[in-house]
Homo-oligomer: A and B are copies of this chain.
């Protein structure tokens, strides 16, 4: 009750929008419109998968419905189209969505901007659509609709409930005034009167407490029943039960799970880090049955298919390759929910690096709401090439580094890719936190001194030098260019690979100072905008202009990502020049 009285106040459990990290019993953090109904699709998908994977005849371990309430705003947002079309495609029969159809948004009546036939649209998605006409009072009609929803097992159900915003308020009902602002003492009093609610402010009658208590008791009884069921299941299905206990109930990784990850040496043939990523995904997939995900229709480009499992589709919920379709934002919200479902699923989702812009809000809310989503992205720089500047990230990776509590990894080779996966999987499972990874389209050599252990330091020397005159720091596909530049220089040069700014920041001061000592001229090289690199370097090579359509190698060359240019800039840096030494403007035609 004290918390209720602290609604929207500092430190309360009752913030302005539901926040799972502040309040027990809140599954997901919503508020940004359309996020909730899209999360619900993920929660329902998690149920469908776990039921298919673990239930056995006479042993229904997993069996629950996912309910969500969406408003006019949710229905207008594009994310609801993506997630709900996907839910219809999947035929998620245990997803039940209430559409609170009250006809009012912040601008006023929905007539102003929103006149589509929502029910027909959802039918087009393959949903069952039901209507409750008098949603303010006709609770029996709602009960009946829920029963009908449950009876339809192969389609999600939308229950369109006609309601009145601020129902009961004599002067503010059916108007935007009842949306976000308090009614005020007088109007609250008048509302109580109109509703014949004979209790005071913050007074909850005893019979309500009793009703909730009854539910809690019933829940405890159901839990005891389930525990008994699971004990029997353990007898009958010892292997599956052990997996269920580890992965779902205790949410622990198997010991030494990471031994599956590839280890490479400088002699191994180089290839694109997106291919190393494919190797890692396929090494992890058989070891971690809770690892599941997919791409927004770029599987053959993102290289994200797991070969040991099939497609998660309407008739194959036990499989683990998601076919999200071209629905980045919906995909992100679905994956966040797969993690926040708290059944141990480690979800990944994939698209081109540039299209994280389409799902940026889902990435942000993963970080905010502590979802362990792994965002796999490929084609991470102008080396994308022919697709041109609409598809070439410039500011994308640096802009993602700005999101609090998100870790960005940009591996330079095979070992760094394996290190990124070790980090991302453990961060997902053990800490329920997101990681974003950026992989190259183009082939890259395996580097000297790279390893999983070094990757987990965030940065380390790939070319060591005890008393460097200048240090060159690169990330991802630029590290080997830095190595080549250093080789061609007469000075004492250390080359540092920094797969993760965030992970490096978290290292001890002594390690950071030993790797990047203050006072030593340091040049950073990244095929991205230079902003933010002042933190680690005295001078920068980057690209602060949009790219161009041409073969990837040509783009890299024209915009200055050559050993020659890096060498030249490193020499300037050594002589004391600071700031942005190469920003790609030389490449604009």
> A289 near B: Cβ within 8 Å?
no
Least CB distance from A410 to B in Å reads 16
Q: B402 near A398 (CB under 8 angstroms)?
A: yes
Q: B327 near A77 (CB under 8 angstroms)?
A: yes
CB-CB < 8 A to A89: which residues of B? 113-116
A544 nearest in chain B by CB position: B404
Provide the bound-state CA to CA distance between A399 and B555, in Å: 24
Binds B, one of A121-129, A213-221, A336-344: A121-129
What string of 1s and 0s marks CB contacts (under 8 Å) between A525-551 and chain B? 000010110110000000011101111
CB-CB < 8 A to A531: which residues of B? 401-402, 531-532, 535
A545 nearest in chain B by CB position: B404
> A279 near B: Cβ within 8 Å?
no
CB-CB < 8 A to A387: which residues of B? 16-17, 31
CB-CB < 8 A to A354: which residues of B? 32
Q: B113 near A88 (CB under 8 angstroms)?
A: no
A365 nearest in chain B by CB position: B390
Provide the bound-state CA to CA distance between A106 and B297, in Å: 6
CB-CB < 8 A to A117: which residues of B? 123-124, 126
Provide the bound-state CA to CA distance between A57 and B343, in Å: 68
- A72 and B326 in contact, given A16-B388, A78-B82 (Cβ under 8 angstroms): yes
Q: A391 near B17 (CB under 8 angstroms)?
A: yes
Binds B, one of A135-143, A226-234, A266-274, A298-306: A298-306
20 contacts between A and B (CB under 8 A): A8-B386, A8-B388, A10-B548, A16-B549, A31-B387, A32-B355, A76-B85, A76-B297, A76-B327, A77-B326, A86-B113, A89-B116, A107-B297, A113-B326, A114-B325, A118-B124, A120-B123, A368-B390, A404-B545, A531-B532
A117-B124, A395-B404 known, 12 other contacts, Cβ within 8 Å: A8-B385, A9-B549, A76-B325, A77-B328, A78-B330, A112-B311, A116-B124, A118-B124, A121-B125, A176-B300, A360-B360, A404-B529
